[in-house]
Amino acid sequence: MSGSESDGLFGGLFGRGAVSTGDEAWLQAMLDTEAALARAVERAGLAVAGTGAAVTEAARAYRFDRGELGRQATLTGNPVPALVRALTGLVSPDAANSVHRGATSQDIIDTAAMLLARQGLDAILTDMSAAADAAAALAGSHARTVMSGRTLLQQAVPVTFGLVAAGWLTGIDDARQELRRVRETRLAVQFGGAAGTLASLGDAGPAVAALLADELGLRLPVLPWHTDRLRIIELAAALAGASAVLGKIARDVTLLAQSEIAEVHEGAGAASRGGSSAMPHKRNPVAAVVILGCTRRAPGLLATLAACAEQEHQRAAGAWHAEWQTLADLLRLTGSAASWAAELLAGLQVDAARMQANLDAAAGLPMAERVAAELGPAIGRLAAHDLVAAASARATAEGTGLGEALLSDPVAAASLGAAGIGRAQIDAALDPAGYLGATAEFVRRALAAHQDLEAAWNQ
């Protein structure tokens, strides 16, 4: 981001990272489009040699008064007409002939949006890659770190922290693949002229469009997409998907970092972070909280962009205009969340001892499913379920462990004895490390898939 954007009151929180979508970035992207169009017009033989270079040299954001362009935009509904006049005034008459040739304002703004999206996606993908690598490291190093699985915010059966991190990893990698697909296949030049016909260029229109796409390194669409906004929706959906993945990770961290759980903490590198204005003892999970502050806005921004896709005839009255800042905000917030997530996961501290202590504090109750499964063949599945459910209720009420509740109840003890199940078998069934199912295989698969993805992208 430029200094003015990143140094604002909230810029360091919600504008962190390398995504740039402020006024200066928009202005330069529009100027880059105009410069590329001038070069394309020259290459098509519609302007004298050197005009493209002259316009390119003049098309520098610092040469233009953003405030004045904004004031002029109130007269035309967008800043492009004023920008074209200002740019034309900076070049010779010969070069001026190639400025904005054949274009309409939407061509410039839509193409500029594609350039901003490309830069933003590159930055987001870089940070998402770092976050994925950090999640992979956590999954690998904690593949055997047993912890409580939690469903509906209650302890369920045991899992490993490696499996939790593997879930984060696969989510990040899936989001990365969709972001990359959009970046490589759906960012296209917009060039259709007044109503999508390029009539002012005659037979040369398609050739200029192809040259413009080549100059900018963007896709050449089959035809102009002035009121076909599927590209914008796909871009927005990919960004919102990435935000959803990052938000899930951040939410897990905030829950696991609660004082009463305290199984993870944000990294030591953020030791000066997390304080409270009122409570000196606080160590808040700031990175996770700010990620959530970014990602909570993504669904609404996506909804706005989806609603904007209903556009009239060959140019929308308002819906197109509503896209500009909405898309910029979604790019910026997703970029900020990705940047925060890369740091969060790289420095996340995992307290394996606390995880074990929380399991122990549950006094065997998370293993009720396994105990019932052990009893099922001898006394029947439903009878085993009911017996263990009753013992679990007694254990909770009396503050004892599940094993004690089973063995101290005469009816339960008789059933266990008849099944040949004694304390040794009960103790074995209550060991969380012995009831992890396919956890190790799932972690292995996630890590292998991540390695395959990296190898494919690095070829």
Q: What is the pLDDT of residues 11-34, one digit of tens each?
A: 999 999 999 999 999 999 999 999
Name the active-site residue from 66, 315, 354, 444. Answer: 315
Please, which pLDDT band fits residue 383 given cuts at 50, 70 and 90?
A: confident
Please answer whether residues 176 and 132 qualify as being in contact, where contact means their C-beta atoms are separated by less than 8 angstroms. Answer: yes
Residue 280 confidence (pLDDT) above 60? no
pLDDT for the residue 202: 96
Q: Check if 296 is active-site.
A: no
Per-residue pLDDT tens digits for 148-192? 999 999 999 999 999 999 999 999 999 999 999 999 999 999 999
219 assigned to active site: no
CA distance 107 to 102: 10
Alpha-carbon span 52 to 450, nearest angstrom: 44
Give the pLDDT confidence score for residue 415 in this predicted structure: 78
Site of tokens 């400025």: 99
Class of domain 110-150+160-188+225-353: mainly alpha
What value does the mean pLDDT of the chain take? 93
Active-site option among 63, 85, 276, 381: 276
pLDDT (tens digit per residue) in 213-247? 999 999 999 999 999 999 999 999 999 999 999 99
What share of the chain has pLDDT > 70, as a percent? 95
DSSP SS3 for 339? helix
The yes-or-no verdict on residue 327 having pLDDT over 90 is yes
Which residue, 128, 136, 143, 372, is CA-closest to 243?
A: 128
- Regarding predicted confidence, which is higher, 409 or 356? 356
Q: Domain-by-domain residue ranges, the chain?
A: 1-103+193-223, 110-150+160-188+225-353, 365-429
Q: Which residue is it, tokens 């316009």?
A: 55
**Alpha-carbon distances of 28 from 134, 388, 391, rounded to whole Å:** 34, 68, 70
Average pLDDT on 291-316 reads: 97
For domain 1-103+193-223, give its CATH number from 3.40.190.10, 1.10.275.10, 1.10.10.10, 1.10.260.40.
1.10.275.10
pLDDT tier at 282, thresholds 50, 70, 90:
low
